[in-house]
Homo-oligomer: A and B are copies of this chain.
């Protein structure tokens, strides 16, 4: 593998000049630039990125950490983030957690992810794992989709989302009201958003709509279509009259609806249901839901991080976006 020295020798210039050409420094004379380009071409030279990172002290990369991949929420969030980063000259590199084992590896302060120019951490309350509740890095970072008073963060008002669902959900006389979801199997993998939605929902129902707490039943389901399908089937079996459901995610709502359908019960007719997120399928299946501004969340996170990097600003960021209730046929 050729290096800058080889290129410099062949082009008959100094390594400093080669470096300048590589970095588009406008002070290089066109003639020299051309000589260098030719040498690069001829030697099939590719700059060593690790040397560059080391000597320049920056990477032009931003680490993005998310609990999983494989769901629409994070795909959209991450795409929105990447778009803004890209416009600002940064590239993104992804670290989905995937498993407990990987979480462990990724928590080592010397892991690569802490040595890019900044981090965006999505839907996780990882800071609990570290000393002083801070990530083990001097690099700037921002948390997304989680509220964390000790760190810069941007999130959607999940409590208010729950309130919106409670304000709008149809309730039948003396019927049960189910809350589906909220099960966060592993504390560090959780962001707390589910319990905030749940709290907002219950508070509004009890305090404003005067619903007795006894009528509200929380069913813990993982964020899994399949598991929610099973819940849909099983709950249905014990139901004799119309009831109401607040699913803490559209995924859960969708699974539940299909499970219920398999027992011949239909949303908007045999029961009312409101989901959360407004994912792409929600409109097709006519699911009433609480919409999160996913793209805006990602864009804003990226913009705030870039601002932190460029201005070395240290003011605390606690930004809150608002969700919106979307009425469809299921409620």
Which residue from chain B places its CB closest to the CB of A56 in the assembled complex? B50
**A217 an interface residue at 8 Å Cβ cutoff?**
no
* A234 partner residues in chain B, CB cutoff 8 A: none
| B281/A115 in contact, CB under 8 A | no
Q: How many copies does the complex hold?
A: 2
* A76 partner residues in chain B, CB cutoff 8 A: 70
For A225, give its contact among B79, B83, B280 (CB under 8 Å).
Answer: B280
| A86/B110 in contact, CB under 8 A | no
* A106 partner residues in chain B, CB cutoff 8 A: 91
A218 to chain B, nearest CB (A): 23
| A115/B49 in contact, CB under 8 A | yes
For the complex, count residues of A whose C-beta is within 8 A of B: 57
| B285/A109 in contact, CB under 8 A | no
For A78, give its contact among B51, B69, B72, B284 (CB under 8 Å).
Answer: B69
* A49 partner residues in chain B, CB cutoff 8 A: 110-112, 115
Q: How far is the CA of A230 from the CA of B284 in the complex (A)?
A: 8
Can you identify 29 A-B contacts, CB atoms within 8 angstroms? A1-B138, A46-B109, A46-B137, A47-B110, A49-B110, A50-B50, A50-B54, A50-B115, A54-B54, A68-B75, A69-B69, A69-B70, A70-B72, A70-B74, A70-B75, A78-B98, A79-B98, A79-B99, A91-B106, A91-B111, A91-B112, A93-B112, A225-B284, A226-B281, A226-B284, A229-B281, A229-B284, A230-B284, A259-B284
